[in-house]
């Protein structure tokens, strides 16, 4: 009971803090805002022991054989700066369609156009790399009708704020729960020929599909592949990368064709694995921009 109360208080304080800094952030020049984000990121690295420990444990498991301990610490420290800057950019996301549109580049737009031309919508498969809020903004800027399956923060005020951002960015939002309603709305989105954006790189628990991620079993959401199998919608990996001081580049990869051997269960694992390998490739290339503080390998596969 006491633990639940503490968590509720913490979430409430987070919501209050969010709105208390909203106005000043909107008024600051972008350069100053991003500089401030780096400063806060450096400070958070030293203060936030719990998440720093989680991040370091995760990156050691994933990249410990490829990089030195000093390199891993440097990546996590830079990761804190990236996250802080992304949080500040979130408050300015609407302006990226106006004053800062030139800072959002796009690569591989023809891949998405080719997928949508099939008339079955498209499933944009993403990971928590770069600034996802700006990824959604760029898709909206390009006038693609789109919806994202979103798991909102527990604090209601923060959740409302995130929903407001998506609404004002002309980005449809599908709450991840209740699951039955999320599935219904996701299928309707594809039927309308939209881009359905789904993250695939966070722990999905017992409901997920176990795949290899950096040499370890990890539970991944089955949704993207299940929807593709049911509707024929193409699977299109997407990733947004921070470049330079202020820029970002949205990369849209070619469609990942579905493997279809007739064994649905086996095909589900095979196709989810192929998508996961795309995410892993980007994490290896841009390790400081992935969300290492999430306990990605928390769930373990059932014993056979």
- pLDDT (0 to 100) of residue 2: 58
In sequence order, what DSSP letters do the residues of the chain get, joined into one string? -HHHHHHHHHHHHHHHHHHHTHHHHHHS-HHHHHHHHHHHHHHHHHH-HHHHHHHHHHHHHHHTTTS-HHHHHHHHHHHHHHHHHHHHHHHTGGGGGTTTGGGEEEE-HHHHHHHHTTSS-EEEEE-SBS-HHHHHHHHHHTT--EEEEE---SSHHHHHHHHHHHHHTT-EEEES-SHHHHHHHHHHHHHTT-EEEEE--S--GGGSEEEEETTEEEEE--HHHHHHHHH-PPEEEEEEEEETTTEEEEEEPPP-PPP--S-HHHHHHHHHHHHHHHHHHHHHHSGGGB-TTS-TT-S-PPP-
- pLDDT (0 to 100) of residue 7: 56
Q: What is the mean pLDDT of each run of 10 residues along the chain (304 residues)?
A: 57 54 73 93 96 96 96 98 92 81 95 98 97 92 93 71 74 87 96 97 93 96 97 98 94 97 95 98 98 93 78
Dump pLDDT digits (tens) for 13-54. Answer: 555 555 555 666 777 889 999 999 999 999 999 999 999 999
Which fold, 2-289?
Glycerol-3-phosphate (1)-acyltransferase (3.40.1130)
């Amino acid at each position: 009971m006491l633990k639940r109360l503490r968590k509720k208080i913490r979430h409430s304080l987070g919501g209050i803090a969010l709105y208390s800094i909203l106005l000043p952030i909107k008024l600051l020049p972008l350069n100053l805002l991003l500089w401030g984000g780096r400063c806060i990121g450096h400070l958070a690295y030293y203060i936030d022991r719990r998440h720093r420990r989680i991040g370091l444990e995760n990156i050691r498991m994933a990249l410990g054989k490829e990089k030195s301990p000093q390199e891993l610490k440097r990546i996590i420290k830079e990761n804190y700066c990236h996250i802080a800057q992304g949080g500040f950019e979130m408050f300015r996301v609407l302006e990226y369609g106006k004053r800062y549109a030139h800072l959002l580049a796009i690569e591989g737009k023809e891949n998405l156009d080719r997928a949508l031309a099939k008339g079955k919508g498209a499933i944009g498969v993403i990971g928590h790399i770069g600034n996802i809020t700006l990824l959604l903004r760029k898709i909206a800027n390009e006038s693609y009708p789109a919806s994202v399956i979103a798991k909102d923060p527990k604090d209601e005020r923060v959740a409302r704020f995130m929903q407001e951002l998506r609404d004002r960015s002309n980005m449809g939002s599908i709450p991840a729960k209740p699951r039955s309603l999320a599935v219904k709305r996701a299928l309707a989105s594809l039927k309308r020929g939209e881009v359905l954006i789904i993250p695939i790189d966070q722990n999905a628990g017992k409901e997920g599909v176990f795949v290899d991620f950096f040499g370890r079993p990890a539970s991944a959401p089955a949704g993207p592949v299940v929807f593709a199998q049911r509707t024929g919608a193409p699977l299109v990996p997407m990733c947004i990368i921070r470049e330079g001081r202020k820029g970002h580049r949205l990369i849209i990869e070619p469609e990942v064709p579905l493997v279809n051997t007739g064994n649905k269960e086996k095909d589900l694992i095979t196709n989810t694995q192929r998508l996961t390998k795309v995410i892993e490739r980007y994490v290896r290339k841009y390790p400081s921009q992935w969300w290492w503080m999430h306990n990605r390998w928390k769930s373990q596969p059932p014993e056979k």
